[in-house]
Structure 1
Amino acid sequence: MALLTLGINHRTAPVEIRERVAFTPERMAEAFSELRVATGASEAGILSTCNRTELYLAGDDDCAPSVLRWLAGFHDLDAADLENVIYVHRDSDAVRHMMRVAAGLDSMVLGEPQILGQLKDAYALAREHNATGSFLSRLFEHTFSVAKRVRTETAIGENPVSVAYASVSMAHQIFSDMSRNKALLIGAGKTIELVSRHLADAGVRDFLVANRTLERAQALAELHGGKGIVLSEIPDHLADVDIVISSTASPLPILGKGAVERALKKRKHRPYFMVDIAVPRDIEPEVGALADVYLYTVDDLRQVIEENVRSREGAAREAENLIASGVQDFLDQLRALDAVSTLKVFRSRAESLRDEETEKALRALRNGTDPETALRSLARGLTNKLLHQPSTQVRKAMAEGRTEVADFLRELYQLEALDADEPTTTEKL
């Protein structure tokens, strides 16, 4: 079984490209229905976050070119536009990559915990669409187990600096006393929930949470004594807030330049701090060109995050060792499964030969053949048939210079070493 991972992430491409290949929830069913047909893969998984889009495929052949063509076509792009920003991992390298992703070693924020949950969601979604089989299911499950070991046996997750935390840290550069500032959070998922906690810890006491569904917005806002609104109400409240942090799964921008310009006039140009964590982006890029607006995307959070990377280098080395062990364990499992399959075929072949020779002996007995003669004929015939094919293959291998085959035969059948004057194994055969 060939394994392939093809992806794009924060290291290989800027947000302007990443948002164009992101998969929205609304198109996941369509993607799964097309992906395996277009690539010939028997199993598939799709991971799409603000920092990466990755496709995991298992099949009989390497399907990288067809995967790239499909990915570009699905998002109405030219494949040439993606060739310089994608990465491809195969077989054991693909196994290692998935485990590094799950453990947070390939994240912008080293060791960040959210990616493991996102990968688990991707696996659940693939199963929901009947896109995974025994191979990818075994890989995902083993990957989650290795990631858990990394979390529990290293310090990679201690004092985590998430994208949410980095966003709030940057807000401190604009507002020294955040207790005086009002925050508008757009979205109500896990990232925004983390943002709300960090803002509250930083002193923010006045919250607005805008979401597509009012109930979810209110539930999150009430955790901090705030108010929930629907997305359409954002323009009515925009002039009253100082901090805007957005992370939704919307395929189109939610906050445009015109709305921000009107709000700035009402605020008499008091500054805005905005972070757009979403991919595709929730805030139109043109907003960043406005005076008195400090707009950042996930790609702008690198300085805060790089400090986190330096503080965790020791833990990362320990994690890499655990992952190397996890990759080897997975490959050993695959080899063991392959051995079981081969042994089943071997036993079935032997049993078939046994049944043939047994039936021949029974016919001889029914025809009046002496039982001892029939029994000896059975033993001789079964022995010859069991040894014929292996003998032929060993002779062929030795003639080709592959002498290790004879050594393997001795090991397989635990044959004792022969005296120098005895014929060799192949001569006996």
Structure 2
Amino acid sequence: MEPPLELVGISHKTAPIGVRECVAVSGARLGVLLGELADEADEAVVVSTCNRTEVYLVRPRRSALEIYRDHLGQYTAYAYRHRGQAALRHLFRVAAGLDSLVVGEAQILGQVKNGLFAAREAGTTGPISEQAFQTAIAAGKRARAETAIGRGATSVAYAAVDLARAVFGDLAGLRALVLGAGEMAERVLEHLAHYGAREVWVLNRTLENAEKLAGRYGGRACGMEHVAEALAWADIVIASAAAPHYVVRESRVREVLETRTQPLFLIDIALPRNVDPAVGRLAGAYLYNLDDLETVAEKNRAARAGELPRVERIVEDELAGWMEWYAGHVAADRIQRLKAWIEDGLRRELEAALGGAARGEELERLVRRLSGKTAHPLIQMAKDPKLGPRLERMLEG
């Protein structure tokens, strides 16, 4: 029996960054979306990262594609849809790092967890989505513990720094500006330091966070109001700030370029993007975004090709385990409804036959005693994979 789970999503494999940033959700907007989806399905979880926005629905009340379109915009031409085991397999592959831009990336497992935690907080999880996401997390942990898919540098942050190395070669002496002070920015600084970059500025909306991060790598911290000064100083900008609007605007970069003799390189790994795409059309500015990291990602995939079959086997093993759990879940639910159906019927018959002779607790004891004998052969039927669906139709009728 196929589980009643459906997935609709958009990812780096199906949509350009301009579409992905339009459907990305986080923070308060994610809570609002989950509240809306509570009316669309029995259970709902959303996974939204820089490279994907996926909606997982249990027993949706109408087309999952229509639900996605109505709540996230007219982008279903870029969407993929999976049902039942195919949806589960996709989720497990995502958590294991197989579907990432940078294969084996570590951040995706935390992002899957965050999706589950947000849905729990919104009250939109249930037994099927809980078990699905818990198993996905287990698959992701196993993939990283039992194979080498996650060893070494596997992240979008690393891909950005690797692109910088391709542009500049030796990073020693490079003046690097990092926008943002979150986890992605920290990974960027870690990789920059590893490859010899020593002159680093960190700009962030909250100065205190910038100071903490810059202090760990011997850099300078500034608030976002110093962006013009920092752009004029930097050789390369790596942007990863969580901002709802462009932090680096085309007009600002144009002004900065008028005072420079050297070109300015910008790598924007934020979603929504931090750098106005119009910057890439300016003479003297070279702008890269997440979609431009594909060459680095391809090199990463080739390096880990030998690990992929091992991870796929882990995914299939966890899928088989989940389906075994689901068979038991379906049987338990069916038995519970069967007992309630039998007890309701017996209660009505006894009340009609005995009138007021049996009431309250006495009536309920009689119902339970008789229902146990009546239910036993039907319970065996409920556990049978072939006969169970026939009993299901009887209960529904």
Contact 1:96 1:323 in 2 (8 A): yes
Structure 1 residue 59 corresponds to structure 2 residue 59: yes
Contact 1:104 1:110 in 2 (8 A): yes
| Distance of 2:333 and 2:223 partners within structure 1 | 57
* 2:306 partner amino acid: G
Distance 1:200 1:60, change over 3 A: closer
How much has 1:282 moved relative to structure 2?
0.6
CA distance in 2, matches of 1:103, 1:114: 11
Measure the CA separation in 2 of the matches of 1:118 and 1:13: 20
> Which of the two has higher C-alpha Rg?
1
1:260 is aligned with what amino acid? V
Instruction: Give the 3 Å change call, closer, same or farther, for CA 359–21 of structure 1 in structure 2.
Output: closer
**Counterparts of 1:212 and 1:356, CA distance in 2:** 68
User: Which amino acid is 1:22 matched to?
Assistant: A
Q: Which residue of 1 aligns with 2:358?
A: none
Which residue of 2 is the match for residue 218 of structure 1? Answer: 211
Q: Determine whether 1:326 maps to 2:328.
A: no
Q: Is the 8 A contact 1:276 1:297 kept in 2?
A: yes
What residue identity is the alignment partner of 2:47? L
Deviations 1:284-323 (A, max 9, x none): 1111112222211011111111011112122111111111
Residue among 288, 313, 331 paired with 1:296: 288
The one-letter code matched in structure 2 to 1:241 is A
- Structure-2 separation of matches of 1:93 and 1:255: 41
- Cα 1:198/1:65, change in 2 over 3 Å: closer
- Counterpart amino acid of residue 229 in structure 2: D
Worse-matched range after superposition: 259-268 or 107-116: 259-268
Within 5 A, what are the aligned runs for 1:248-397? 248-268=241-261, 270-346=262-338, 386=374
Check if 1:111 corresponds to 2:96.
no
Task: Name stretches of at least 5 consecutive residues in structure 2 with no aligned partner.
Answer: 356-369, 391-397
Partner of 1:172: 165
Separation of aligned partners in 2, 1:147 and 1:340 = 28
- Cα distance in 2, alignment partners of residues 176 and 92 from structure 1: 46
How much identity, in percent, do the aligned residues show? 39
Residue 26 (structure 1) shift? 3.8
CA-to-aligned-CA distance 1:207-226 (integer Å, 9 cap, x gap): 11111111111111011111
Show structure 1 runs of 4+ deviating over 6 A: 349-363
Which structure 1 segments of 5+ residues have no match?
Answer: 74-78, 364-381, 394-403, 409-429
Which whole-Å deviations, capped at 9, do the CAs of 1:186-245 have from their partners, x for residues lacking one? 011111111101101111111111111111111110111111111122112221111100
Count residues in correspondence: 366
C-alpha spacing 1:291/1:61, structure 2 compared with 1 (3 Å): same
Residue 194 of structure 1 pairs with residue 196 of structure 2: no
Contact in 1 for aligned 2:98/2:104 (Cα 8 Å): yes
Q: Which amino acid aligns with 2:117?
A: A
- 2:21 counterpart residue number: 19
Distance, in Å, in 2 between the alignment partners of 1:64 and 1:296 is 34
Give TM-score scaled by structure 2 length. Answer: 0.84
Alpha-carbon spacing, 1:354–1:128, altered in 2? closer, same or farther (3 Å): closer
Number of the residue aligned with 1:33: 35
Matched, 1:130 2:123: yes
Q: 1:349 to 1:254 in 2, by over 3 A?
A: closer
Distance 1:176 1:137, change over 3 A: same
Give the SS at the match of 2:129. Answer: helix
Aligned to 1:370: none
The residue type paired with residue 102 of structure 2 is V
Farther-moved stretch of structure 1 (105-114 vs 285-294): 285-294
Deviation at 1:355, TM superposition (A): 8.9
Contact 1:42 1:58 in 2 (8 A): yes
* Aligned residues: CA RMSD: 3.0
Q: Is the 8 A contact 1:24 1:249 kept in 2?
A: no
The answer as to whether partners of 2:106 and 2:154 remain within 8 angstroms in 1 is: no
Q: Which moved more, 1:243-252 or 1:98-107?
A: 243-252
